[in-house]
Amino acid sequence: MQKVALVTGGMGGIGQAVCGQLAMLGFKVVATHTPGNAKVSAWQDFMREKMGGGAGFTGFAIPCDVADYDSCRACVETVEREVGPVDVLVNNAGITRDMTFRRMTRADWDAVIDTNLGSVFNMTRQVIDGMVERKWGRVINVSSVNAQKGAFGQTNYAAAKAGMHGFTKALALEVARYGVTVNTVSPGYIETPMTSVIPTEIMTSKVLPQIPVGRLGSPDEIAALVAYLVSDAAAYMTGADLSINGGMHMS
């Protein structure tokens, strides 16, 4: 039977690539997007064309504010009713609000913590019981190299993303015996709308020189790692934090 994969932020740079690769593997893929996202039907058309109407692309997209528990509950209820129980959850939605800590407001802190870390509780809480009952599940949390190494101007983001991995390790212990794995993927700098806001001058003088491979990563490179983690072949990998950063940080 086709398994269902729910990808938060599935219309963003990395999320879209993850949706594409999981659909190619035959998962029924559902993408969440922010309420009010105006690009939903363009995204559906693009994906349908890209997938050639084959594999597991359902075209199912659902609004969800991942920072809001009730919105996540309603989202998962709808997915379960209309597509099926969620077997794979990719907690991918995220935001940055970069500034030095001395300028950071409470609102900048809360928005980043709630969207990147609160979301992991809000979404995973809705699907974990079903995964445990069915004795198969995959939770993948998309963190960041900047959680592993720290980053100037990102106290909020680094804290949220590092918190994700603490969550991964603790939940991995709790559900390992039920065939459910929980892992973190920590990308370096990837070519997506999130990094397109970095000024070119900063990119060439500050970011690229830190990357031994000499370029940004592509969303498909992250999606390929997610595709491995959701496979049966990855059943023995749980509680891991997988670095994929062009050699920028080795731990």
Give the x-and-dash track for 172-201 against ligand NDP (CB under 6 A): ---------------x-xx-xxxx------
- Identify which range of 7-15, 46-54, 125-133, 168-176 contacts ligand NDP by CB under 6 A: 7-15
According to DSSP, residue 116 is labeled I
Conformational region of residue 28, where left means phi above 0, alpha means psi within -120 to 50, and beta covers everything else: beta
- Residue number with the smallest Cβ distance to ligand NDP: 12
157 has catalytic annotation: yes
The rounded distance, in Å, linking the Cα atoms of 141 and 200 is 29
The rounded distance, in Å, linking the Cα atoms of 36 and 71 is 13
- Identify which range of 27-35, 75-83, 176-184, 206-214 contacts ligand NDP by CB under 6 A: 27-35
- Does residue 225 touch ligand NDP according to CB under 6 A? no
Contact 187, 144 (CB under 8 A): yes
Binding residue (CB under 6 A) for ligand NDP from 65, 98, 108, 241: 65
The rounded distance, in Å, linking the Cα atoms of 181 and 236 is 8
Q: How far is the CB of 111 from ligand NDP (least distance, A)?
A: 8
Binding-site size for ligand NDP (CB under 6 A) equals 29
Nearest to 164 by CA among 146, 188, 191: 146
Which residues lie below 8 Å from residue 80, measured CB to CB, with a gap of 6+? 86, 130
Binding positions for ligand NDP, rule: CB under 6 A: 8-9, 11-15, 32-34, 37, 64-67, 92-95, 115, 142, 144, 187, 189-190, 192-195
Residues acting as catalytic residues: 157
